[in-house]
A and B are shown apart, each in its own frame.
Chain A
Amino acid sequence: MDFLNALILLLNYIFIPALTYGSQLALGAIFVTLIYGILRFANFATGDMMSFGTMVTILFTWYFQSLGISLGVLPTALLAIPFGIFFMILYMLSIDKFVFKYYRTNKSPPVQLAMVSIGVMFVTQAVVRIIIGPSDQRFFDGEKFIIKAREFKEITGFNEGLALKSTQVITVLVTIILVSLLFWFLNKTKTGKSMKAYSDNEDLALLSGIDPQKIVMITWIIAGILATIGGALYGLDKSFKPFTYFNNMLPIFAAAIVGGIGNPFGAFLGGYVIAFSEIFLTYAYKKFFMYILPESMEPESLVQLLSTDYKFAVSFSILVIVLLYRPSGIFKGKVL
């Protein structure tokens, strides 16, 4: 019984939150990795692009709410996401046309493109803050919990409760569907394969008649879908604040590099590596040991490896270690 209680404790406080957070990071990390693999630069505007997509989603959610449209138990935002994606893609394509294209055709070094992306970051940040403001926005509606902690205790008779938020389930489900669709697209369709070829060797791909314009456009479209959905899911689960989204860029980068930048599958797993290690290392295990150990050996302190203040520091330390010992990431090897 105690053992099961301990297990539920871990499930409730570590596994489920980490899985959710990891999924959100994973979507962002695939976005970073796609841009890096095909357009060949580190996109510092990642977090702010995600906040742009989320902002449009929020605006449409509010519009639908004012019209009285809702999905019942599901959040209305799910209905608004396609509109968010549409405007996100529009925004990305126009930025590509007016900003990035020039440097791409000039074959500028990746560092210069990264600098340009900082300019885009500033502009996007300004646009988001001017339109929706810098403060916290909550746009979740519908049923909040699938299982409430108290109900779970009553049904099962355990000491520990297990809470399951609907946003957590939605996040994980949507991520699984989206990522499997993406991998199917990249591995099975002709366009996906030509994207891989382009990322692998640009000149060779051009010689075999692959249209670079089309590849770049499809990359931005996929990136727009990933950015909007990833951002909206994060916003639904926690809340939307432009500054948080900018900061999220950092663990997302960490996830992409840990997984091996340019490799979408690596980025996908990297998201979970970062999320799980952040939560594993900063969780206070006192209660866990109280269940597991006999009473005489119960720990007095919190048994916390690192205080939660260092959550970000954990992911960055992992990144630094990976960069040192395996600069190409955990799943090194082929690109895309």
Chain B
Amino acid sequence: MRKNLNVIAAYSIMMALIILVGIFQSWNIALSIFNLCLISAVMTMGANIQWGYAGLINFGIMGYTALGGLAAVLISVDPVQEAWSAGGFDILMSLWLIIAMVLIIRFILKRFNKSKIRTYSIAVIIISGILLIRFSAEPGIEAIEAVNPAKTGFLGGFGLPIIFSWIVGAFFAGGLAFIVGKVALGLRADYLAIATLLISEIVIAIIKHEDWLTRGVKNVIGLKRPAPYEVDLQTTDWFINLVEKFNSGKLELISNLSDRQATLNQLVIEGSSVFVKLCYSGLFLIVVIILLILTQKALYSPWGRMMRAIRDNEEAANAMGKNVVKQHLLIFILGSAIVGIAGAMLVTQDGLFTPGSYRPMRYTFLIWVMVIVGGSGNNFGAILGGFAVWFLWIESAPIALFLINFFTVGIPATNSLKVHLIESVPYFRFLMMGLGLLLIMRYRPKGILPEKIDIK
């Protein structure tokens, strides 16, 4: 118990902060912060597996998040029959062409020894394959995008409950990680960072511009929800009764019957959105707890010890007969798959998929700040980092506003400098993130909750 004291203290402070937001701002804001904290925590767990356990740098988190989001769209949206009949055949043909191309390349790679001719022939196959696919898919793509472009204009998905997409998102992200890992894992640390960053940009470019698959920048809105809708809740009896019971003390003070009804209606509307958010919190909490148990088990298993050995001394681990390349690939896939889950969760919560909103600042570098600040190699630390950094990210604007007003209290409100500062309050979050990261890296390089390994 004693040795976990700092963990408990850190988490209590975090929860207290969120509760304070609930009391002083509103429970709605507090819960939306809490939900996004949970999603961030899942992302940081993924990044922490790669960086903390194995020392692999992955700056492509944005790409895996977006793929998870794509999974949510492809799973939950109903299929667009017209689009399938218009261009489905061409798309399927192209898919077969891609598979055939990959198989041919594999065959060549296996069958022939490394030589210049082999390299060139593979290049020729890839280029001609891309051209062939373009020509065969183009009419199909045009036909699909022409089907009711204002509402659909894409193939749609499978029409399954969106919860499934959390698993599918993990597979999507893991699949991409497999390809990226095969290609890039041999690189040195900083090259790997740059390569993964650029690959994630390519993924985003594809998602943004392949309208037949994702609707691109036209966004997909109104995704199905695993939680009830606010509007439905507001008309259900049991929910109204529940709200009435919760607020009975407050309601009894109002004697006028119509006033009382109006207050109740107001409370029901507020309560419904809080209730929906609570549903999400429950779902997300389950995911976080399952992942936490699994990652903790993995960390203290022989496999976890092997990963740390590889991280701390690759050559020695290699000499002991551990397959470093294979383990690196495995952990790269696992971590990315977890990020994919988070991506699907994020889109599930928002109910919309906006490819234009995936930016490296928010989805890659911020997650890294969370991992470093929280404590790499320590799952509790990573989750705490997700909570603390996201909390600061959201609440930095009010904090900055308070500080500006505090320090410029003597200056009149019309002073141009003060006006300018108050207008640029939203950008202070970057400043706080940057300073936080720099300070932590300088004075507590292992994070708030450092990695602690005790051999049992």
Contact = CB atoms under 8 A, between A and B. Distances in A.
Interface string A97-120: 001001000000111101110111
- B-side binding surface: helix, strand, loop or mixed? helix
Interface string A108-143: 011110111011111111110110011000000000
Contact of A320 (B198, B423, B433): B198
A260 B184 CA distance: 17
B93 interface: no
A112 B376 CA distance: 13
Given A118-B365, A122-B434, A309-B205, 10 more contacts: A110-B190, A111-B189, A116-B438, A119-B435, A122-B433, A250-B198, A254-B198, A310-B209, A323-B187, A323-B191
B189 A110 contact: yes
A61 B430 CA distance: 27
A99 B206 CA distance: 37
A129 B427 contact: yes
A120 B442 contact: no
Given A123-B431, A253-B198, A316-B198, A111 B190 contact: yes
Interface of B: 57, 119, 183-184, 187-191, 193-195, 197-199, 201-202, 205-206, 208-209, 361, 365, 368-369, 372, 421, 423-424, 427-431, 433-435, 437-438, 441-442, 445
17 contacts: A114-B193, A118-B368, A118-B437, A120-B438, A123-B430, A125-B430, A126-B431, A126-B434, A130-B421, A130-B431, A253-B194, A253-B198, A312-B201, A320-B184, A320-B198, A320-B199, A327-B191
A320 B184 CA distance: 8
Contacts of B424: 129-130, 133
Nearest to B430: A126
A114 to B, nearest CB: 5
Interface residues of A, number: 44
Given A115-B441, A323-B184, A327-B191, A130 B365 contact: no
B187 A327 contact: yes
A134 B195 contact: no
Contacts of A121: 365, 434
Contact of B193 (A42, A120, A246, A325): A42
Nearest to B372: A115
A178 to B, nearest CB: 25
Contacts of B119: 325
A246 B361 contact: yes
Contacts of A111: 57, 189-190, 193
